[in-house]
Structure 1
Amino acid sequence: MFNIFKKNKNEEDNVVEVKSPFIGKCFEVKDIPDEVFASNMMGEGVGFSSKDGILYSPLEGEIIQVFPTKHAVVMRSVEGLEILLHIGIDTVEMKGEGFEAFVNSGAKVKAGDKLISFDLNLINEKAKSNLSPMVITNKEIIEHIEFNYGEVDTNSVIARVKIKK
């Protein structure tokens, strides 16, 4: 009758929890050795170091694009967030060597689904860096983002994103 025990639903409306797309470590995007990512030119995000050489889906949604070189994926969450998941820096120069994609454009995915595997040793040998950025590219729909850093796995919430109503 009085609803005194109900949670204030408005506080949680339009909040998307983004899980880690890597098992490893999450850190501030400014530490990515690439000015485009480090300066948030592509959007707000975080950086990762991977322990197992696998990129996982950070949330439920659809794969919009898998780059032909398999070094990056663009996806859209069911709430409308557009996310660029990029493996390493200057890995496009590897022309797909050491990468294997498990999804194609148009695929529906859930958080934790395996998207791409990659050879960390080969990236260390051939690319500028094995550090990997994740950025939200449609920042115009975002009201607020909170990031969490540290050791992560695919169950770790690395961002809480409040979407504008």
Structure 2
Amino acid sequence: MSLRKEAAMFNLFKKPAYCDILAPVDGISLPLEEVPDPVFAQKMMGEGIAFRFEGEKILSPLTGTVLLVAATRHAVGLKGANGVEVLLHVGMDTVELQGRGLEVYVQPGAKVRAGEPLIRIDRGFMEKNHIDLTTMLVVTNGGGYQLEIAKTGVVKTGDPVIRVTR
């Protein structure tokens, strides 16, 4: 039997059927509908969840590859092993800061593990500028998946918050 047939028989090259997207922060998770930005609240970017938190670091919600880092450092896009793509968008109107108050630790093409730091926020700078740091986690290619919000309310970093299945 050929290696290819053997691999197919055991589904060795098949993408995982599901993955859990994890909380990137300790805090309170809330439905997107409660976000004060209509683009996210109306789910124009996709289904997801938002977070209010006190920390300074935002961690990767899954193991995968960095697809994009916004030039203004307010957003990072990731692709997980099963093909799911997510966008982490830090705060409201942070794009207007042109990257000030945000430090990004990754760049496009980088491999990341769930729980690795992606972004550091200068809380003092954000508070001084009255920035709402509600952070959105959105599945941007959800059309081919079933998404289930697994947890809202108090979350700890690494808690499963979205379950993605094929």
TM-score, length of structure 2 as denominator length: 0.85
Aligned AA (1:95):
Q
Deviation of residue 14 (structure 1)?
A: 1.3
Are 2:113 and 1:113 equivalent residues in the alignment? Answer: no
**Offset, 1:123:** 2.4
SS at match of 1:112: coil
Q: Distance between the aligned counterparts of 1:40 and 1:125, measured in 2?
A: 30
Deviates further, 93-102 or 143-152: 143-152
| Alpha carbons 1:90, 1:127 under 8 Å: kept | no
Residues 1:86 and 2:89 are matched in the alignment: yes
State the distance in 2 between where 1:73 and 1:36 align.
17
Q: Which residue of 2 aligns with 1:151?
A: 154
Higher mean C-alpha deviation, range 137-146 or range 90-99: 137-146
Runs of at least 5 residues in structure 2 that lack an aligned partner in the other structure: 1-15
* 2:49–2:149 contact (8 Å) kept in structure 1: no
Q: Which residue does 2:78 correspond to in 1?
A: 75
**Aligned-partner Cα distance in 2 for 1:45–1:23:** 17
Percent of aligned positions with the same letter in both sequences?
35
Aligned counterparts of 1:48 and 1:37: Cα–Cα separation in 2: 12
CA distance in 1, matches of 2:142, 2:110: 23
Q: Which moved more, 1:149-158 or 1:99-108?
A: 149-158
Let me know the Cα RMSD of the aligned residues. 1.4
Residue in structure 1 matched with residue 10 of structure 2 by the alignment: none
Equivalences for residues 33-52 of structure 1 within 5 A: 33-52=36-55
Q: Secondary structure at the match of 1:97?
A: coil
Greater shift in the superposed pair: 147-156 or 49-58: 147-156
How far apart are the structure 1 equivalents of 2:149 and 2:95? 30
Query: Structure 1 127/105 Cα, relative in aligned 2: closer, same or farther at 3 Å?
Result: farther
